[in-house]
Structures are given as C-alpha cells and as structure tokens.
Amino acid sequence: MKSGIVLVVTAGMLSLTACNSGFDVAKQDLQLSLSDNQAAVSIAAWEGSENHPDRVFEKWQSEIKAKSLKAEEVCQALLEADGPTLSLMAPEIERAENAEMLKGCKADLLAKVQKFYEDDRDNLTMNLENFFGDQTTPRDYRPVTPRKFPDNVQIRDMSNGYYAVNADVAPGEVILTFDDGPSEKYTQIILKTLKQMNAKAIFFHLGKNVNANPNIVKMVAADGHSIGGHSMSHRCLANKTICAKNNGGKALSFKQATEEIAGSMNAIKNTLGWVDPFFRFPYGEYDKSLTAYLNNKGIGNFYWRIDSNDWKSQTPSNLIKNTMNQVKAAGKGIILFHDIHQRTAEALPEILSQLYSGGYKIVLLKPKKAMTVPVNPAP
C-alpha cells in the first residue's frame, strides 16, 4: 500500500514538473540571453552567442512546432521578465514572424518595454518628451530649448583609401556615426533630434535596409548627412576565425565579401544617384585583402574611437553616462551608435546636450568627391 501511494504521488509530481517545464526553460533562455549580452566584450561576440534573441526565438518556434513548448509558456516567461530583458527582446517581439507565437501577449509586452524607457526619462535633463517644443507631452514636462551646434564640415581625400579612428579631427572634435539602418522605426526620430541641434552625422547603411526603406535614405541625404555602406546583410566579412563562427562555421570568400561591400554602396548610389566613399565593416572586422580592395576603389575604412555599446541592454541614462565617460577620456574621435535601437534614440537628446555644454564640436566629414558610378566586386 505504501509503495502504491508513493508511486501515485511521484507520478503526480512528475506530471506537475512536466507541465511547468516549458515555462521554466523559456525563463532560463531569457536569463541566459541577458547574461550573455552583458558579458559580451564586443558586438561580434554578442551576435555570435547561441543565446542571442533571434536564436532564442527560433528555438522557441521549433519547440512549439515539436509540441515540447507552448506559446502560452513563452508569453508567461516574457511577461514575468524585467525591463532590461524585455528591451533586449524587443526587436524579436516586434518581428512579424513571431506574431502568431505572441498573439496572446504582444501588446502587453510592448507596453512594458515602452514603460521601461518612459520611466528612465525622469533621469534625463533632455529627453524625447521635452526636447521638441512643438509637441504636447503625455506627462507634464516643461519643454527645454536646445542650443545648436555651428556648422563644421571637413573634407578628407579618399582617392587612395583612408583609415579613420579619429579621422584627423582636433581635440574637442567628435564625429557621430550610426550603423545598421535605415530603420523604419528609429532613424526618423534620430534625424529629428539631430536637426533640432544642427548636428550632422555619417550613416553607414545596410544594403538590405536601403532597399527596404529608400525614402528614409532620401530623408537622411536631404538633411545633409553623409551616407556610406555597411555591407548588404551585416555578415562578418574578414577571413578570420570570429567571422567564420558568426557565418555558421565558414568564412566568406574574397569575392563574396566584396559583393557585400559593393552591394551596399550600389544600393545607396541607386537610391540617391551618389554615395559617399565611406565604408564601415560589420563588427569592425577586416583583413589586408579587403583593406587593399577598399584602397583600390578609393573608399575609406571607418572604424571608431568611442563605442557607445548601445547594443547592450541598458537604460538610456546608463548609455549616456558610459558614452560621455569615453568621450571625456578620448577627447576626440569617431563615436559609434546604431540607429536601430530605441535606447539610442532615447539617449541622443541628452548626449547632444552634454556634448554641447562640454564644449565639444561635432564634425561632418565629407569626401572630396562622392561616388556616382557602380562599385564592382572582385571577379
């Protein structure tokens, strides 16, 4: 009798564990993703993580299809996650391919993400609710009138190639750069913020996003910013171990890598009739052969001196603090941002304000001559 009772209770416990296992696994996936994001030493390391959000959501989709996980368990795990975790997951929550899986919770999740950012606005002197005097704010913020940076256009010769970290700017001068766009959601907010303070930047666009959002590319150009390429699809281009890992175990051939470079440059040229001969390698990873290719084409290789690390999950106020600490330590040079993240859009008004009050000058770099003919990949 006793053994029979134990067996029944044990079976019940096993059944209960099985019921909760999907939620527990999804919750652990979220914890591992945030942990990997915070521990990553570079964006290349982060995007190569097996716990990157896009891989987590792909895993969940497969497990739901295999009936080892339920969409309700995914929703439960996400709804119980904190703001930093949800902000990291936001691009996947918004992705159309995940809509069916999240149909029971998507609206609530996006509302929680928005609250995470809105709550942090109270910590910022300049924020997206008080920065633009022409809007009625949902909360009682008093509009702040931002000051304007003076025009500061500087020309660089790209005819034999060029390598930029500080880009030959003087102490106290910085260059703003934005990678991975144009974003349908955030690039226009960033453009409006930049215009409000007469700040100009270099945008390094992905070819696939240029083709998807040509009108936004035209807006960037109309506002007077410089526009260069950033590859077609953000694959890691160099013949290096880290690139092989990020590309599924095999590095791209030289021809494939140059097709990525040429493709992004030509996508911009086909949209605008010109493209600045500026290129930034995805993850900042390049090699001698690709450098020689750029030099031969008269295209500059743009790295950075100051990395905002805006790909890390953090509040905008922390992003501002970390970026400005680096600016003060470096004193000059190129600042790396991405115009695909809400945290960047939220932080930019205060970053510009602190740059202005700190006496920094924002430089707009222009080439001697824009490119108006197609860029050919290697044969």
List, by residue number, the catalytic residues: 179, 338
Cβ–Cβ under 8 Å, residues 302 and 164 = yes
* Cβ-defined contacts of 67-72 (< 8 Å, 24+): 68/22, 69/22, 69/25, 69/26, 70/22, 71/100, 71/101, 71/102, 71/103, 71/104, 72/104
Q: 181 Cβ partners below 8 Å, 6+ apart?
A: 187, 203, 205, 206, 209, 213, 216, 338, 339, 340
Separation CA 160–CA 177 (nearest Å): 22
- 3-class secondary-structure state, position 295: helix
Cβ–Cβ under 8 Å, residues 178 and 186 = no
Cβ–Cβ under 8 Å, residues 164 and 188 = no
How far are the Cα atoms of 128, 334, 368 from residue 304, in angstroms, in the given order?
26, 5, 21
Q: 235 Cβ partners below 8 Å, 6+ apart?
A: 243, 246, 247, 252, 260, 282
For residue 243, the tally of other CB atoms under 10 A from its CB is 24
DSSP symbols for 317-356: HHHHHHHHHHHHHH-SEEEEEETT-HHHHHHHHHHHHHHH
The sign of the torsion formed by the CA atoms of 128, 134, 140, 146 equals positive
Cβ–Cβ under 8 Å, residues 361 and 172 = yes
